[in-house]
Every structure is written in C-alpha cells, then in structure tokens.
Amino acid sequence: MTLLWFIAGASLVVALVAWSQARRTAKRLAQISEMYWELKYQHGELRVRMQRMTGETPPSPPEAPGAGPAPGPPGEGFVPLASLKR
C-alpha cells in the first residue's frame, strides 16, 4: 500500500513539472510569435522606405498564361502600425 502512495506522489510531482514546463513553453512561443510579426512589420517598413529613397517601384508578380493585362498597381499598400494604434 505504501508503494502505491509513493507511485501516486511521484506521478503528481512529474505532472506538476510537466505542466510548468508546458506553461513556460507556451509563453515562449507567444513571445517568439510576437517578435516574428514585429520583425516582419519592420522589414516591410524598411523596404518601403528604401523604395522611396531609391525611387524604385515594387517588382510586379509574373503574369499567369492566358490572363489578360494585369490591373495597375494599387496605391500605397503599406499602412504603418502607429497610425492604426491611434
């Protein structure tokens, strides 16, 4: 009977350790995901800034065979996050 209580206690300890590890991993995943989207935003911001400085136009995607002429490029497609937060 004592062996069963020991096994149950050890199982509880292992479960608590696994649960805390899963919580830490979930927090880290959320942090990495946030860093990824922030970096992607900054990359787009820098790309637009470089295009403005050099006067380049963004590259157009290749046309699909049999498709008609592509519509003209839309206006400015980049919207800074700072303007959305206001």
Rounded to 5°, the CA angle 14-28-46 comes to: 170
pLDDT at 55: 85
Please check whether residue 48 lies inside any domain of the structure: yes
Give the three-class secondary structure for 74. Answer: coil
pLDDT at 66: 59
pLDDT at 85: 62
Please check whether residue 41 lies inside any domain of the structure: yes
Please check whether residue 36 lies inside any domain of the structure: yes
Domain coverage including residue 36: 29-54
Q: Are 31 and 38 in contact (CB under 8 A)?
A: no
Domain count, the chain: 1
Q: In this predicted model, what pLDDT tens digit does every residue of 27-86 receive, in sequence order?
A: 999 999 999 999 999 999 999 999 999 887 766 556 656 555 656 566 656 666 766 765
Please check whether residue 74 lies inside any domain of the structure: no
pLDDT at 56: 78
Please check whether residue 49 lies inside any domain of the structure: yes
Please check whether residue 84 lies inside any domain of the structure: no
